[in-house]
Amino acid sequence: MNLSKRLAVLLSLIPEGGFLSDVGSDHAYLPAAAILDGKVEAAQAIDNKEGPFAHMAKTVKDLGLESRLFLSLSSGLDDLDPRATTLVLAGMGGDLISSILLKGKAKLGAVEHLVVDAHSERSLLQETLLGLGYAPEAGRFIADRGKFYSLERWSKGTFEKELAPIERRYGILPSRGHEEAFLSYLRAEEARMKAQLAHPSLPEDKKKEAEGTIRLIEEYLHENA
Ligand SMILES: C[S@@+](CC[C@H](N)C(=O)[O-])C[C@H]1O[C@@H](n2cnc3c(N)ncnc32)[C@H](O)[C@@H]1O
């Protein structure tokens, strides 16, 4: 399969073995690739909308995966296969991913690994994952087609390290501090904050927040770039 760079990195973060459920799967490309790659024997693709469900059905038919990739038109973890040991939640806001996990947390018993790609609200998702008893295990921060993505695998376990301010703001990742894409992302964030500050009507609380973020980024870049 011809996967985008983002999906290929997500695939690399999926552990071998067990049963995979991809929630908010759209075309079901990722679970299909995980099966074809031999990472998992079987998988489930879930989406809560008719259009994406039709895309998923087409992928299954085109690739002849009817007996190994099971589809569900349902919301969040409502119809999660109880065999699921790895969950993927990718391409959604961190607030939506958080709410899906919190609403369905009673179903997470067998889920050892969560592979996530939150397009916003990453620090909120991080709080949720830590609260649910998962710890960051592996991750890549990448640029793909002009956008930045934080692709992360969290696994059951406790995380006892004190978070640095930059990690509270932008998330914890074992390799993040050394990835060029993360440094480019921080530079872009800094420019975005400076552009916000140039607006004379920016409310005082937003101004303070932007100034604080700029200070944090400048300190980090000074020490790490
Ligand atoms: C932008 S797509 C991402 C597709 C794929 N996961 C990826 O990373 O390329 C987000 C998908 O999540 C689905 N979705 C949104 N909320 C959902 C929910 N509560 N339960 C299941 N699917 C949901 C949408 O219908 C959409 O197909």
pLDDT at residue 224, as a whole number: 86
Residues 6+ apart with CB under 8 A from 58: 27
Contact, 154 vs 129, CB < 8 A? yes
Contact, 14 vs 81, CB < 8 A? no
* Helical packing angle, 5-13 and 29-36, nearest 10°: 60
pTM over 0.85: yes
- CA of 47 from ligand 1 middle (Å) equals 6
In tens digits, what is the pLDDT along the chain, a chain of 225 residues?
Answer: 889 999 999 999 999 999 999 999 999 999 999 999 999 999 999 999 999 999 999 999 999 999 999 999 999 999 999 999 999 999 999 999 999 999 999 999 999 999 999 999 999 999 999 999 999 999 999 999 999 999 999 999 999 888 888 888 888 877 777 789 999 999 999 999 999 999 999 999 999 999 999 999 999 999 888
Nearest protein Cα to ligand 1, atom 12 = 24
**CA 204 from chain center: how many Å?**
32
CA triple 92-94-97, angle to 5 deg: 70
Contact, 63 vs 88, CB < 8 A? no
Neighbours of 33 (CB within 10 A): 21
Domains of the chain, residue spans: 5-161, 183-224
Residues 6+ apart with CB under 8 A from 71: 28, 44, 45, 46, 53, 56, 57, 60
5-161, CATH topology level: Rossmann fold (3.40.50)
Identity at 34, one-letter amino acid code? A
Pocket test for ligand 1, best of 7, 14, 21, 26 (most atoms within 8 A of CB): 26
- CA of 209 from ligand 1 middle (Å) equals 31
Residues 6+ apart with CB under 8 A from 112: 15, 18, 85, 86, 155, 156
Pocket test for ligand 1, best of 7, 48, 89 (most atoms within 8 A of CB): 48
Task: Name residues contacting ligand 1 (CB within 6 A).
Answer: 23-26, 46-49, 52, 75-76, 90-92, 96, 100, 117
CA distance 98 to 119: 12
Contact, 86 vs 15, CB < 8 A? yes
Neighbours of 90 (CB within 10 A): 22
Pocket test for ligand 1, best of 9, 49, 150 (most atoms within 8 A of CB): 49
